[in-house]
Amino acid sequence: MATAYDRDNIFAKILRGEIPCDRVYEDDHVLAFRDINPQAPVHVLVIPKGEYVSMDDFAESAGDAEIAAFVRAVGRVARELGLQDPGYRILANHGADSHQEVPHLHVHIFGGRPLGPMLVRT
Ligand code: 5GP
């Protein structure tokens, strides 16, 4: 069964304007802002404005306009940050094995330096 959306999660508070963020992009469906604890010189989070726990939830339940806006925003933000030529990485965590911390869908955009291997083997 799908996890219920928690309206007290930190990104819901950012979307309601209760907590500030360093915004880099916004449209009717999407907000993008810098991560508070950056893991690379550029580390931006792109989130849908709708209430979706993760990509699993979003892919299943979001409307086509929301999905199109979200995918286009990820590409647009990376391009506008000048990342498409040196390259960048996008990442979205879902659930416990991925260590997803915030239960509102977010895509991380990392860039600004060589990013190393995709995953560290443990
Ligand atoms: P996750 O592990 O869920 O994929 O990533 C959550 C991300 O949200 C982390 O990279 C973390 O630094 C970031 N984050 C957590 N709280 C805040 C906040 O209040 N503001 C911003 N801008 N980022 C946050």
Tell me: pLDDT of 120 over 90: no
What are the domain boundaries of the chain? 10-89+100-111
**pLDDT over 90 at 88, yes or no:** yes
The protein residue with its alpha carbon nearest to ligand 1, atom 13, reads: 35
Distance in Å, CA 13 to ligand 1 centroid: 12
Cβ pair 47, 106 in contact under 8 A: yes
* CA dist., res. 118 & res. 108, Å (int): 13
| DSSP β-bridge partners for residue 91 | 108
Q: Is the pLDDT of residue 100 over 80?
A: yes
Can you give the pLDDT at residue 1? Answer: 60
pLDDT in tens, 23-40: 999 999 999 999 999 999
Mean pLDDT of 57-65: 97
pTM here is 0.97
Confidence of residue 3 (pLDDT cuts 50, 70, 90): confident
Q: Which two tokens mark 80?
A: 């506008």
Closest ligand 1 atom, residue 13 Cα? 19
> In the predicted model, what is the mean pLDDT of the chain?
96
Looking at this protein, which amino acid is placed at residue 5? Y
Rounded Cα distance between 38 and 52, Å, is: 23
Fold category of 10-89+100-111 in CATH: HIT family, subunit A (3.30.428)
Residue with tokens 């069964």: 1
> Cβ < 6 Å from ligand 1: which residues?
10, 19, 21, 33, 35-37, 93, 99-102
Residue 89's DSSP bridge partners are 110
Does the annotation count 43 as an active-site position? no
CB atoms within 10 A of CB 46: 25
Rounded distance, CA 6 to CA 50, Å? 12
pLDDT at 122 over 90: no
∠13-15-19 over CA atoms, to 5°? 45
